[in-house]
């Protein structure tokens, strides 16, 4: 939630609704949500930047995969997907990490209650918005999690590829620090094939190359 100073500033910006003006309560809720989303910038991930200078934060991750939609859209398995919807899913799906934190994909213990923690976070964070936008955001988040539509499958493929590339092009530093094996990476990356055969073939080659170069243990 907003801190006291932010709430006071938001309150001071409130005015009575006038004829022809925006719905002030709706507007204020939208601004509050945008301010709350800033907290995603302080959620750190296991992934390190390509120059290995520091850990990536979740907001940077969300931006990076949204950009990938534009660049890699031609490789989507289904050529008729709604790319705008894909981008929306990728921009909002990690907002729950404001409350739930980032759960390392190879942390079996942490993943046991990940779904519950993230669902609770989705309920709080999306409900900061006006009711219609709350429904829209929750539907997009649920769609991403279910991986049942062509859009969500392509979104998930990109979400998994981005940290994979960081791992490969930093010589498997985080993989090695956490004793990750090639079978774990292959299992994690298999859903990529549902979103893009071309991207899956690329990932498969890099997994094999990672073993050959010693980035991953067999």
> Tens digits of per-residue pLDDT, 113-130?
999 999 999 999 999 999
Which residues in the chain show pLDDT less than 50? 15-20
At 123 the pLDDT is 98
CA distances from 100 to 28, 93, 140, 194 (A): 25, 12, 18, 27
Q: Is residue 34 part of a domain?
A: no
DSSP 3-state assignment of 146? helix
Q: Is residue 168 part of a domain?
A: yes
Contact in structure between 155 and 144 (CB atoms under 8 Å): yes
Q: Is residue 48 part of a domain?
A: no
Crossing angle for the helix pair 83-92 and 131-146, nearest 10 degrees?
100
> Tens digits of per-residue pLDDT, 173-186?
999 999 999 999 99
Q: Is residue 209 part of a domain?
A: yes
Q: Is residue 4 part of a domain?
A: no
Q: Is residue 31 part of a domain?
A: no
The overall average pLDDT reported for the chain is: 93
Total domains in the chain come to: 1
Q: Is residue 30 part of a domain?
A: no
Give the H or E element holding residue 199.
helix 197-213
Q: Is residue 101 part of a domain?
A: yes
Domain extent, residue 177, equals 55-213
What percentage of the chain carries pLDDT values higher than 70?
A: 90
Crossing angle for the helix pair 58-72 and 83-92, nearest 10 degrees?
170
At 19 the pLDDT is 44
Burial of 182 (0-12, 13-18, 19+ CB in 10 A): middle
* CATH number where 76 lies: 1.10.3210.10
Rounded distance, CA 170 to CA 28, Å? 43
């Amino acid at each position: 939630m907003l801190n006291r100073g932010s709430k006071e500033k938001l309150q001071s910006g409130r005015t009575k609704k006038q004829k022809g003006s925006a719905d002030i309560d709706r507007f204020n809720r939208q601004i509050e949500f945008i301010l709350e989303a800033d907290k995603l910038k302080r959620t750190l991930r296991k992934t390190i930047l390509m120059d290995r200078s520091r850990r990536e934060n979740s907001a940077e991750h969300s931006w990076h995969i949204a950009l990938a939609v534009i660049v890699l859209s031609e490789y989507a398995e289904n050529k008729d997907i709604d790319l705008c919807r894909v981008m929306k899913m990728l921009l909002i799906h990690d907002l729950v990490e404001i409350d739930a934190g980032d759960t390392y994909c190879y942390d079996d213990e942490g993943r046991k209650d990940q779904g519950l923690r993230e669902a609770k976070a989705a309920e709080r964070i999306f409900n900061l918005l006006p009711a219609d936008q709350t429904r829209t955001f929750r539907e997009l988040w649920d769609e991403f999690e279910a991986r049942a539509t062509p859009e969500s499958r392509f979104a998930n493929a990109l979400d998994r590829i981005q940290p994979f590339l960081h791992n490969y092009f930093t010589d498997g530093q985080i993989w090695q620090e956490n004793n990750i094996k090639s079978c774990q990476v292959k299992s994690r990356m298999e859903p990529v094939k549902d979103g893009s055969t071309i991207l899956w073939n690329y990932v498969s080659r890099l997994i094999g190359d990672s073993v050959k170069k010693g980035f991953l243990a067999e």
